[in-house]
Amino acid sequence: MTEPITGVQHALAAGPYRAVVTEAGASLRELAHRDRPLILSHGADEPAPAAYGQLLIPWPNRVDRGRYAYGGREHRLAITEPGRDCAIHGLVRTAP
């Protein structure tokens, strides 16, 4: 059996709450209270739609042309959304 695209699934429970956090990006894939979903979830073998539940660290938006200045220096990021020529939603979305 192959691992899902979101990696190992970590099921957590406390009282009436249940959650599933993925290995890929430590995304919150499921959250329920008394089996009632509290967030929009997705399958373990599906990418998170619209970055649902993903940690958008260290930035939550797009960096134009993947360039920014900090501390008097210019830095460059990988272009992760080529259609818009930008880096999108941080560095950890798919990192284990």
Q: How far is residue 1's CA from residue 85's CA, in Å, rounded to a whole number?
A: 37
Alpha helix locations (H) across 17-75?
none
Does residue 1 surpass a pLDDT of 80?
A: no
Give the side-chain half-sphere CA count within 13 A for 41.
Answer: 18
Q: How many CB atoms lie within 10 A of CB 35?
A: 7
**Segment 39-59 mean pLDDT:** 91
Residue with tokens 């460059």: 76
pLDDT digits (tens, 9 = 90+) for 17-32: 999 999 999 999 999 9
Alpha helix locations (H) across 1-96?
none
Does residue 36 surpass a pLDDT of 80?
A: yes
Tell me if the pTM is above 0.75.
Answer: yes
Q: What is the pLDDT of residue 16?
A: 98
Residue 41, both tokens: 């979830």
